[in-house]
Amino acid sequence: LENQTIPLKDLEKKIAAEEAVKYIKDNTIVGLGTGSTAYYAILAIADLVKNGLNIQGVPTSEKTASLALSLGIKLIDLKEVDAIDVTIDGADEFTSDLNLIKGGGGALFREKIVASLTKTEIIIADSAKKVDRLGKFKIPVEVEPLAYNYVNQQIIKLSGKGALRKNGEEIYLTDNHNYIIDADFGLIDEPEVLSGSLNQIEGVLAHGLFINLTSIVIMGKGQEILTFNKS
């Protein structure tokens, strides 16, 4: 895509993605994110592969897996990797201390496992994703369907409000056939504490607070690229 023909938000995503792929080295394992920002990274990685780069991609969703395969990127199953060199993924919100909310696209469980196995987790974002405090975006919580009512009650006990994610009339199902509760806790003072509390609820498989998992955020702002590192 030529840069002149795409909307500003997409341009920001694209330039961030093109900067991020510079961190990928030959003969490495690369985590492939999910969403409209990660999409640009996958396109850029496919270009590098066409030019001879040898990598194995670990997809964070079925959608990403089929996109990557259609573009000629070799894949390796998450079950078969014990470390990932670099992952490039998007986020719904990030703060300058590199904590995130992810999972708007529903891929949070695999994204979190991939991020946890990753040496250098790079988040790419347009400028609307940077916030002073996390929490305007509701926190996706992936739950085993049988645990739905229980988890919802526990979210209320933590002073949150949960809404079961729907896809039209149908209940939304993740790639792992689970439900997502989008939980509203308002603006969050202590994301680490809330993350710990959510982790302790039986039936929660993953939630969208990504704490201390990110090495670098690369954000497009207009034509500029801003990089945020772990301080």
Residues with active-site annotation = 111
d(CA 69, CA 74): 7
Whichever of 9 and 161 has its CB closer to ligand 5RP, that residue is 9
Binding-site member from 57, 59, 104, 191 for ligand 5RP (CB under 6 A)? 104
Question: Applying CB under 6 A, which of residues 31, 57, 59, 90 lies at the interface with ligand 5RP?
Answer: 90
Contacts of 145 (CB under 8 A, 6+ apart): 177, 178, 179
- Under 8 Å CB-to-CB from 102, ≥6 apart: which residues? 89, 90, 91, 92, 108, 111, 112, 140, 208, 210
Where are any strands of DSSP class E within 80-169? 84-89, 93-94, 100-101, 118-126, 139-143, 161-164, 166-167
Name the segment binding ligand 5RP (CB under 6 A); options: 66-74, 89-97, 183-191, 215-223. Answer: 89-97
Stretch of residues binding ligand 5RP (CB under 6 A), selected from 18-26, 41-49, 83-91, 113-121: 83-91
CB atoms within 10 A of CB 69: 13
34 contacts ligand 5RP (rule: CB under 6 A)? yes
Q: CB of 51: closest distance to ligand 5RP in angstroms?
A: 25
If one asks whether residue 107 binds ligand 5RP (CB under 6 A), the answer comes out as yes
Please give the residue ranges that form the binding site for ligand 5RP (CB under 6 A): 33-38, 89-92, 102-108, 111
